Amino acid sequence: MVTGPVRVLVLKPQELSRTGHVGRALRQRAAEVIEHVLSDDGPPPVLDGFDAIVVTGAPWSVDGDEVRPWIDGLLERLRQAVATGVPVLGICFGAQAFAEANGGWVARARDTEVGLHEVETDVPDLLPRGPWFMWHGDTFGPPDGATVIARTRAGPQAYTLGPHLLVQFHPEATPGMVEAWLAYDDADFHRAGVDPDETVRAMRASEQGARARAGALVDRFLEGSRTA
């Protein structure tokens, strides 16, 4: 059990995988946050000395060519986290990688979900309906023993396994981050018939609520890290 402030390792697939609202909440609540960019810094560091792990989103699939130099190291760290009880908060790609590492599966989804969406949630105190920002073309099956706690018509949106919390959507996303992601590649929005500019405007109008929801999510996650 961690009795004081926690030391958090943030694993980011690329530099654009910023921590946004989640990073802000972590730094307000945790003693130290160490960020490691997998595509630039290589395989993740050992877990010794870390009380919790956050794995952020990525524009790639867990089986894509882009992740091959470091994905095996990430999957091994996620297996170690389960074996040693180090809580993981996985976001989108992070939730998919956690499933892949621990006996679940990841595949292309029938539909790409983009924009702001509400979820059907079984635990609104932990995970309210939203709206949450989504951008994913893959879906997953969680590991054995996991509990799916939120979903949309397209598939599962969040699950837990012991102290681990895995979400398919992006609680970290700020309007500025999404603008940067859209500048990188906005094709998914156009294919889905969703106006990216309108999405950013809606995010700006509701940013205070998004920040509060992300902070509450981080609070619950860190509570788990202190009792794991």
pLDDT tens profile 82-125: 999 999 999 999 999 999 999 999 998 888 999 999 999 999 98
CB proximity list for 31: less than 8 A, separation 6 or greater: 4, 5, 6, 7
The first and second tokens of residue 10, run together, are: 């943030």
Query: Domain 7-173+210-227 is classified in which CATH homologous superfamily?
Result: Class I glutamine amidotransferase (GATase) domain (3.40.50.880)
pTM of the model: 0.93
CA angle 54, 57, 162 (to 5 degrees): 40
Give the pLDDT score at 43.
Answer: 85
Judge whether 14 and 66 are in contact, CB under 8 Å: no
Domain boundaries, given as residue ranges, for the chain: 7-173+210-227
pLDDT tens profile 172-226: 999 999 999 999 999 999 999 999 999 999 999 999 999 999 999 999 999 865 5
C-alpha radius of gyration, the chain, whole number: 16
Active site residues: 92, 170, 172
